[in-house]
Amino acid sequence: MRNNWIYSIVGIFTISIFILSCQSNEEIEYAHYYVNGKTAYETHCQNCHGAKGEGLGLLYPPLTDTAFIAKNKNNLASIIKYGMSGELIINGQSYNGEMPAETHLSPIEITYIINYIGNSFGNKIGHYTQEQVQQDLINARN
């Protein structure tokens, strides 16, 4: 009887440790992606889109349109990898420029960047996985 109690306490304890550590693993992964994403953003995107995602006049759109980013979170990988052109409404303003393709970026670098821009400048899309990015890129190809 007493042993049963001990077993179940140990059991619950072990399970919760697993759950807790799983969560914090994901959090650690997210933090790691976000930090790397900031660096990659500074290297590849900040010149046009600005340190605060503010854009530049009507030449380069800001990344602060949270509704656009949330709605297009599955398109971000494709925008980054293959570029973008044509008319576009961001924060109620019309843009018609050309974003060059960053074809040299790997899926993991793209994942870093999406985690950064998707959770900065007012955006909150949460953790975005590399598997999802790979799927997005395949979808963009079809």
Partner 1 sequence: MMRNLLFTIAFISILALSACQSTNTDKLPILGSREPVTTEVNGETVTDTVYHSIPDFEFLNQDSLPITGKTFENSIYVADFFFTSCPSICPIMHRNLLEVYKKYKDNPEVMLLSHSIDTKYDTPSVLKSYAEKLGISGNQWQFASGTRETIYGISPEYMVFTEENDQVAGGFEHQGWFILVDKDKHIRGAYNGTDEKEVAKLMKDMDILLSEYEK
Under the rule (CB under 8 A), what is the footprint of partner 1? 47-48, 50, 56-60, 97-98, 100
Q: By three-state DSSP, how is residue 139 classified? A: helix
- Per rule CB under 6 A, is residue 4 in the interface with ligand HEC? no
Residue 88: beta bridge partners? 95
- Extract the tokens encoding 106: 């790997």
> Looking at 73, 77, 111, 113, which residue binds ligand HEC (CB under 6 A)?
113
Place of tokens 């009887």: 1
> Looking at 86, 92, 104, 141, which residue binds ligand HEC (CB under 6 A)?
86
| Region of 11-19, 41-49, 118-126, 128-136 interacting with ligand HEC (CB under 6 A) | 41-49
- Per rule CB under 6 A, is residue 47 in the interface with ligand HEC? yes
Q: Which is nearer to partner 1, 25 or 39 (CB)?
A: 39
**Displacement of CA 71 from its chain's centroid (Å):** 13
Smallest distance from the beta carbon of 110 to ligand HEC, in angstroms? 8
Catalogue the long-range contacts made by 106-109 (C-beta closer than 8 Å, 24 or more residues apart): 107/77, 107/133, 107/134, 107/137, 109/36, 109/40
Strands 98-99 and 93-95: unpaired
- Per rule CB under 6 A, is residue 139 in the interface with ligand HEC? no
Q: Which is nearer to ligand HEC, 10 or 70 (CB)?
A: 70
Do the beta carbons of residue 103 and residue 30 sit within 8 Å?
no
In the complex, which residues of this chain contact ligand HEC (CB under 6 A)?
44-45, 47-49, 60-63, 65, 68-69, 76, 79-80, 84-86, 88, 90, 95-100, 102, 113, 117
